[in-house]
Structure 1
Amino acid sequence: MIKTSIRLTVLVFLLLGFFGHSQNKKNFSGIPNILQRIIPNDRIDSWVLVYNTYGKDQEIKISGGKTDYTPQFSGFDLFPDEDSFYYIAYESAGKTNYITDLEGLKKFVGKIDNAEEAAIALTVDGYMVDEEFKDVAGNYYEDSANYYLDIGKLTSKECPYQKTHYTVTVNKSSGAVSKVKENGTYIELYNKKCANNPRLLKIPKKEEPKDEPKKSTKRK
């Protein structure tokens, strides 16, 4: 009886811990909001986050006053999109600088200050917050030591187009990834060009039995 009660107690605590983590999960609130949570660690006088879509610039965030900058014709994106990109213009020591790629963005972020910055840092390794599938690839929870991010990655551009989701553990103190857990494929798309598209596989037709030639009967 005592052993049984101990086992039940342990099971209850495990379940409470599991449900506690599940309930504390938060969805990322979109790429623009993720980028607005950046807290640069280097000495920056002012900076502006610019979103360019179809050739038109829109200032998403201005920090530290006005920044004089030249519009850029290329930039970065946390989620693959052919028609838009972001860039950052910032002033430091009287000089204007630009962030137009993910490596530069990670350096600009510096020390990880929040879950959004952890997600930004992981984009360099191909991970992404998938706004279309937040339940599996766009949320996180945290404890005193780590951020636990459920995010996606494009794992195949060939046939079929495929995305896989992961749980990535990022240490709050060091910003280092301590664990990556693969959770499986959550989207798989075939198109007409895919030779391995199941919908295009031809089912071999069964040959219909040939009628045997009728024997002719001769009249006597």
Structure 2
Amino acid sequence: MNSLKNTGILVLMLISTLVFSQEKKKFASLQNVLAQIIPNDKYDFWVLVYNEYGKNKEVKISGSKKDYLPQFSGFDLTPSEDTFFYIVNSKGGKISYITDLKDLKSFIGKIDNAEEAALSAVLEGYIIDDEFVDLAANYYQDSKNYYLDLGKVTSVECPYQKKHFTLTVSKTSGMIEKAEENGSYIELYNKKCKNNPRLLKIEKKPEPKDDPKKQPAKRR
């Protein structure tokens, strides 16, 4: 009797562990995602800076910060004309700046957490769409993989379109092992779209034919 009871308890524990491990967590914000970077190299200090409408905000400071030059351009995880990020870092007393998204890869190094896994997917063309968190900015994980729900811009022409995907990222290799498409969640048309189904087709009216009765009488 006790053995059956113990077996039942064990099964319940396994089920609860499985459910808990697959509970989706949200990427709260792009700033928070970048702040979770754990560089593999040792730096004297590094600073994550967010620039919005020309004003710099230091989101994270790691190590003993020294003076650095503010940057006037950087990278953005969701392209915008008014905001961007850049990272200041110092190694061996030499200060350098990361202003291009592709340079994040060497700075991140080995994938240490879900946020870094998401950033590695961004480098492959996906987006962390924090405007649609439930569809394209969340994740869960198990002992082997990260499972990321992210978005992707699949058409910048008419109609502008985004699709959401579930990506399986290996914790061992940091590579995307599987990408499962879940469908479109944004599809925008405008008046210039020739294929806009919402626009009524305006048929050209036939030009009126000349009425012989209204033609001016010929003079003799």
**Given the two structures, how large is their TM-score scaled by the length of structure 2?**
0.81
For the Cα contact (< 8 Å) 1:126–1:153, is it kept in 2? yes
Report the AA paired with residue 158 of structure 1. Answer: E
Aligned residues: 191
Stretches of structure 2 lacking an aligned partner (at least 5 in a row): 1-14, 207-220
Q: CA deviation at 1:20?
A: 2.6
2: CA distance, partners of 1:23 / 1:205: 58
1: CA distance, partners of 2:200 / 2:22: 44
In the other structure, the counterpart of 1:197 is 196
Q: CA deviation at 1:181?
A: 0.8
In the other structure, the counterpart of 1:35 is 34
Report the AA paired with residue 140 of structure 2. Answer: Y
Cα distance change of structure 1 residues 22 and 172 upon mapping to structure 2, 3 Å threshold: closer
In the other structure, the counterpart of 1:156 is 155
Report the AA paired with residue 128 of structure 1. Answer: I
Alignment of 1:137-176 (within 5 A): 137-176=136-175
In the other structure, the counterpart of 1:114 is 113
Q: CA deviation at 1:205?
A: 9.5
Deviates most, 152-161 or 62-71: 62-71
Query: 4+ residue runs of structure 1 moved beyond 3 angstroms?
Result: 203-207
2: CA distance, partners of 1:161 / 1:197: 11
For the Cα contact (< 8 Å) 2:22–2:142, is it kept in 1? no
For the Cα contact (< 8 Å) 1:119–1:149, is it kept in 2? yes
Q: CA deviation at 1:21?
A: 7.2
For the Cα contact (< 8 Å) 1:147–1:170, is it kept in 2? yes
In the other structure, the counterpart of 2:19 is 20
Q: CA deviation at 1:173?
A: 1.5
2: CA distance, partners of 1:201 / 1:104: 48
Secondary structure, in 3 states, of the residue corresponding to 2:47?
strand
Stretches of structure 1 lacking an aligned partner (at least 5 in a row): 1-15, 208-220
2: CA distance, partners of 1:122 / 1:206: 53
Alignment of 1:28-67 (within 5 A): 28-67=27-66
Aligned-residue Cα RMSD (Å) equals: 2.2
Report the AA paired with residue 123 of structure 2. Answer: V
2: CA distance, partners of 1:140 / 1:32: 17
**Given the two structures, how large is their TM-score scaled by the length of structure 1?**
0.81
For the Cα contact (< 8 Å) 2:53–2:82, is it kept in 1? yes
Percent identical among aligned pairs is: 63
For the Cα contact (< 8 Å) 1:152–1:163, is it kept in 2? yes
2: CA distance, partners of 1:205 / 1:55: 50
